[in-house]
Structure 1
Amino acid sequence: MAEALNSLYKHELIYRRPWTSATDVEYATAEWVSWYNHQRLHSALGHVPPAEYEAAYWAGGTTSTTVPETVLQNS
Structure 2
Amino acid sequence: MESLHASFKKEEVYQWACKDYHEANSAQFSYIEGFYNSRRIISADGYLTPDKKEQLVS
TM-score normalised to structure 2 length? 0.71
* Aligned-pair CA distance for 1:44: 4.0
* Bigger Rg, which one: 1
TM-score normalised to structure 1 length? 0.59
- Relative contact order: is structure 1 or structure 2 higher (C-alpha 8 Å, sep ≥ 6)? 2
1:25 partner SS: helix
Structure 1 unmatched ranges of 5 or more:
59-75
Superposed CA offset, 1:6-56 (max 9, x none): 222111111101211111110010011112112212344444311112212
Q: Structure 1: which 4+ aligned runs deviate by more than 6 Å?
A: none
Aligned length, in residue pairs: 57
Structure 2 unmatched ranges of 5 or more:
none
Identity of aligned residues (%): 25
Number of the residue aligned with 1:16: 15
